[in-house]
Every structure is written in C-alpha cells, then in structure tokens.
C-alpha cells in the first residue's frame, strides 16, 4: 500500500536500522584498554565482534517471522528495550567472558530494528517510492558501522571505555521513546500469519529453494562484505598498517562514510528513472573499478599511507550503497506474503558470512594491505558473478511466463 508516513518516519526507520550495525564496532578504539583491563589477547578481543555477529545472525531468522505474526511495532520495541538493557550489562561487565555474554545478548536483539524496518518500508510503499525511501534510510544505515568507531574514539577521549556502552544504552532508550511516539503499525491483524515452527521452516525452505534467492542474497552479501572486511579489520588496518592512533580512525571511515552516503543519495535520485537492474549494473561498474584501483595502489606503495590507501575504499562504498536498495527490493518482491521472513533470511546469510569474515578471514588478511585489497576484490567479483546469474535466471523465467501467457 502507499500510506502517508508520519513526520520523521524516515529518520526513525534509519535510526532503527542503524542501532544494530552501529553497535558492531563502536568499541574498536577501546580494544587496547579493554584488553589491558581483562588481560585478553587479540583473538579474545576479536571474538567480541564475532560473537555479536553470530547472535545477530541466528536471531535474524526469528525477528522477521515474529513481525509477520505479531505485527511490526511490538517486535521492534521489544528488541530496542532488550538492546538497551544488554548495553547496560556491557557497561557493567567484570571480565572478558561476561563481556562476550552481554555482546551476544546485544546481537540477539539488535536485528529487530534493522530487519523489521525494511519490512515496514515495503509494507508502506511500492515501486520507485519504496526504492527512494530505502535509499534515504540506507544513507544513514550504511554509514553506521563506518561512523561508529569514530564516535567510540571521541567518547573514549572523554573518559573510561565503559562510557561507550553507556552511550549505546542512552541511544537505545532514545529510540525506544521515539518508537513509542512515532512508529506506525504497518502490518494489520488481517495480514498476519500465525507463527508455527513447522510452517516457518517450510517457508524458509521454499525461499532457499527459490531459483533467484541465492544469486540475490550472495550478490548483496558479497558487496557489503568487500567493505566490511575493512570495517572488521579496522584496528589492524588503521593502527598496525597505516601507523595511526586510536583517535585517527576517521582516515578510514570518513571516505567510507562519504562514499556510502553518496551512493545512497545517487540511488534515491535514480529511482524511477532507471530500472532496478540498471541501478545495480551501474553499482557493479563502480565497485569493479574501485577494486582495480585499490589493488594497484597496494602494489605501487611499498608502505601504505593516507590518503592514497583509503580513497579507493570510498569509491567502492559508492557502488555498494548504490546497488544495495535495488537488490533488497528485488529479493523482497520475490516473497510478497513473507517479506519479514525474506528480510530475516537475507540478513542471516549476510551475517553468518560476515561473522566468519570477521573472526577468521580478517585475522589472516589484515597483516597486509595488498592481501586486504585482493580479498576485497575477490568478494566483489563473486558478487558480480552472482548478479549475472540472477539476471539470466530472471530473463529465462520472464520468457517462460510470456510463452505460457501467449499459449493461453
């Protein structure tokens, strides 16, 4: 349907979409301080990210179907409330193991805002309007993991590392109040689907067996993972490779944030003028160009340095944010009766892969700028191949439907 959104709905949806990704790496600048206080090594600290992502991935399978069954509003508000309490737990933690526990709790509920917000947007709007709204929200959503370490560094300058988690708790409380005031219920009782585990598993199985789900899910996942490789490796990339300080994460994240913002803005401007497929195609041209430049710079510079080692990352971010809203709309439109579930499954695929990327791959490739550039380029190429597979499958399906219609 095409409802009229309440004032500030775009900003609220962006805030809800941001708080899960934002909490991923706000604590990065505090890694040395936390490690020193708890006697944790680099591997133990990296697991504060992996555990969060694993919990976020597992519970992402639940948030969407819950919102299909109970409505969007109660699922969002319950998730934000629990996230706020989990952030308080992180601020009061007493060991690295207890920090892992509260980070897992944070991740388990953080997806409620991110996943359900996308379903709300698709409930309310159709056609170019939903692409435009999703692009506007993406301008803020996609910058969250990039902006977070800079804010964490500023908070750390003002006091103890625990203040970072008090900041997250305060933000959660603010979002909870804003949701109670402004968040509409976009999924009325007449359209709700009872939550039955067997039916839920069957629905997920149907999506997994859908011939176009995997190409779209892989394309979206690989695109963002090419950037997330740098985000998850930020402490090593900024401090160890670029030889910068804890307050200088902006050298990586300002180009990334700027690129993401510009890409989302461009996607919004192209909505209705270019097809979804054309928008994604343009995004891939930019991403592949940026990957080539990134590898070339890594080969030519014996010692990585700013700004040359970070500018290609900003260019890459433009292509990622340009293509993301269109890929999401294409995937959700495959399952019009289960948009919440489709959003959950898409998020699950992406988060599981990124958890492995952060916990294992990042540790291996973040010892060298060239390794990181090659790994990012490989992820982009895999995404591009998946997009081409989707286009061929979609064209074949359209031809079959046309032939059947003509035969009738």
- For residue range 245-266, list pLDDT tens digits in order: 766 777 887 888 888 888 878 8
Judge whether residue 349 has pLDDT over 60: yes
Kindly state the average pLDDT of the residues 336-342: 72
Could you give the CA distance from residue 130 to residue 343 in angstroms, rounded to a whole number?
Answer: 15
Beta carbons of 161 and 34 less than 8 angstroms apart: yes
For residue 168 the two structure tokens come to 């997250």
Is residue 1 scored above 60 in pLDDT? no
Band of pLDDT at residue 4, cut at 50, 70 and 90? very low
Least reliable range by pLDDT among 35-39, 55-59, 188-192, 371-375 = 188-192
- 128 φ, ψ (degrees, to nearest 5): -60, -25
Q: Please say whether the beta carbons of 102 and 93 come within 8 A.
A: yes
Which of 83, 91, 86 lies closest to 30, judged by CA?
91
- Phi/psi for 355 (5° steps) reads -65, -45
The domain at 9-407 falls in which architecture? Answer: Up-down Bundle (1.20)
- Are 52 and 103 in contact by the 8 Å Cβ rule? The answer is yes
**Residue 150, CB half-sphere, CA atoms under 13 Å: how many?**
15
The pLDDT of residue 319 is above 90: yes
End-to-end Cα separation, the chain, in angstroms: 30
Using DSSP's 3-state secondary structure scheme, residue 274 falls into strand
CA proximity to 276, closest of 237, 346, 193, 332: 332
Give 317: exposed, middle or buried? Use CB within 10 Å, 0-12, 13-18, 19+: buried
What pLDDT score was predicted for residue 149? 77
Q: What is the mean pLDDT of the chain?
A: 83
| pLDDT over 50 (residue 39) | yes
Q: Is 271 helix (H, G, I), strand (E, B) or coil?
A: strand
Among the ranges given (135-144, 196-205, 315-324, 326-335), the one the predictor scored with the smallest mean pLDDT: 135-144
- Mean pLDDT, residues 327-350 taken together: 80
Task: Give the pLDDT score at 395.
Answer: 85
Measured between alpha carbons, how far is 244 from 375 in angstroms, rounded to an integer?
A: 23
Distance, CA of 24 to chain centre: 10
- For residues 103 and 272, give the distance between their C-alpha atoms in angstroms, rounded to a whole number: 41
For residue 160, the tally of other CB atoms under 10 A from its CB is 13
What is the model's pLDDT at position 247?
67
* Res. 5 pLDDT band, cuts 50 70 90: very low
pLDDT bracket for residue 299 (50, 70, 90): very high
Of residues 343 and 267, more confidently modeled: 267
In 233-367, which residue ranges form alpha helices assigned H by DSSP?
Answer: 234, 250-270, 276-300, 311-332, 339-356, 362-365
Average pLDDT over residues 357-377: 89
pTM for this entry: 0.73
Percent of the chain with pLDDT over 70: 90
- Distance from C-alpha of 163 to C-alpha of 92, rounded to nearest angstrom: 10
The DSSP call for residue 187 is S
- For residue range 126-154, what is the model confidence (pLDDT) as tens digits? 667 766 676 666 666 666 666 777 788 88
Identify the three-state secondary structure at position 125: coil
d(CA 21, CA 23): 5
Most confident of 14-23, 74-83, 244-253: 74-83
The pLDDT tens digits of the residues spanning 155-205 come to: 888 888 999 999 999 989 998 998 888 777 777 677 777 777 777 777 788
Q: Is the pLDDT assigned to residue 240 strictly greater than 60? A: yes
Nearest to 93 by CA among 43, 33, 50, 53: 33
Tokens standing for residue 345? 């499954």
Strands (E), 210-367: none
Q: Which of 77-86, 210-219, 263-272, 321-330 has the lowest mean pLDDT?
A: 263-272
Please, which residues have CB within 8 angstroms of residue 217's CB and are 6 or more apart in sequence? 331, 345, 346, 349, 350
Q: Which of 219-233, 258-272, 381-395 has the lowest mean pLDDT?
A: 258-272
d(CA 101, CA 353) in angstroms, rounded, equals: 21
Q: What is the mean pLDDT of residues 319-324?
A: 90
Decide if 114 contacts 20 (C-beta within 8 A). Answer: yes
Confidence of residue 87 (pLDDT cuts 50, 70, 90): very high
Mean pLDDT is lowest, of 140-149, 163-172, 350-359, 367-376, for: 140-149
Q: How far is CA 114 from CA 14, 251, 269, 315, 334, in A?
A: 9, 27, 23, 25, 20
Task: Report whether 366 contacts 237 (CB < 8 A).
Answer: yes
């Amino acid at each position: 349907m095409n409802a009229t959104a309440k004032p500030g709905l775009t900003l609220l949806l962006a805030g809800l979409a941001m708080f899960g990704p934002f909490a991923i790496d706000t604590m990065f600048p505090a890694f040395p301080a936390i490690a020193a206080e708890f006697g944790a090594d680099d591997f133990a600290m990296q697991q504060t990210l992996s555990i969060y992502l694993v919990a976020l991935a597992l519970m992402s399978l639940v948030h969407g179907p819950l919102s299909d069954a109970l409505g969007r509003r109660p699922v969002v508000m319950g998730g934000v409330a629990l996230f706020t309490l989990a952030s308080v737990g992180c601020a009061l933690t007493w060991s690295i193991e207890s920090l892992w526990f509260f980070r897992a709790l944070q991740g388990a509920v953080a997806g409620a805002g991110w996943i359900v917000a996308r379903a709300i947007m698709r409930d309310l709007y159709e056609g170019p309007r939903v692409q435009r709204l999703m692009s506007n929200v993406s301008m803020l959503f996609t910058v969250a993991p990039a902006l977070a370490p800079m804010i964490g560094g500023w908070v750390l300058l003002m006091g103890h590392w625990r203040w970072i988690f008090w900041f997250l708790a305060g933000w959660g409380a603010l979002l909870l109040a804003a949701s109670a005031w402004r968040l509409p219920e976009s999924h009325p009782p007449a359209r709700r689907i009872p939550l039955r585990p067997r039916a839920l598993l069957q629905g997920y199985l149907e999506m997994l067996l859908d011939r176009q789900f995997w190409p779209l899910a892989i394309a979206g996942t690989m695109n963002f993972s090419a950037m997330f490789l740098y985000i998850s490796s930020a402490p090593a990339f900024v401090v160890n490779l670029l030889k910068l300080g804890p307050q200088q994460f902006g050298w990586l994240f300002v180009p990334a944030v700027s690129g993401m913002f510009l890409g989302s803005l461009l996607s919004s401007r192209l909505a209705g003028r270019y097809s979804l497929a054309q928008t994604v195609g343009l995004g891939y041209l930019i991403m592949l160009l940026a990957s080539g430049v990134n590898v070339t710079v890594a080969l030519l510079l014996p010692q990585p340095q700013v700004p040359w080692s970070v500018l290609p990352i900003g260019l890459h971010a433009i292509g990622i944010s340009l293509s993301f809203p269109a890929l999401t709309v294409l995937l959700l439109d495959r399952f019009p009766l289960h948009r919440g579930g489709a959003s959950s499954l898409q998020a699950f695929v992406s988060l599981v892969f990124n958890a492995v990327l952060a916990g294992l791959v990042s540790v291996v490739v973040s010892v060298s700028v060239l390794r990181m550039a090659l790994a990012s380029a490989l992820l982009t190429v895999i995404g591009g191949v998946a997009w081409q597979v989707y286009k061929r499958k979609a064209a074949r399906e359209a031809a079959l439907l046309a032939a059947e219609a003509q035969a009738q």
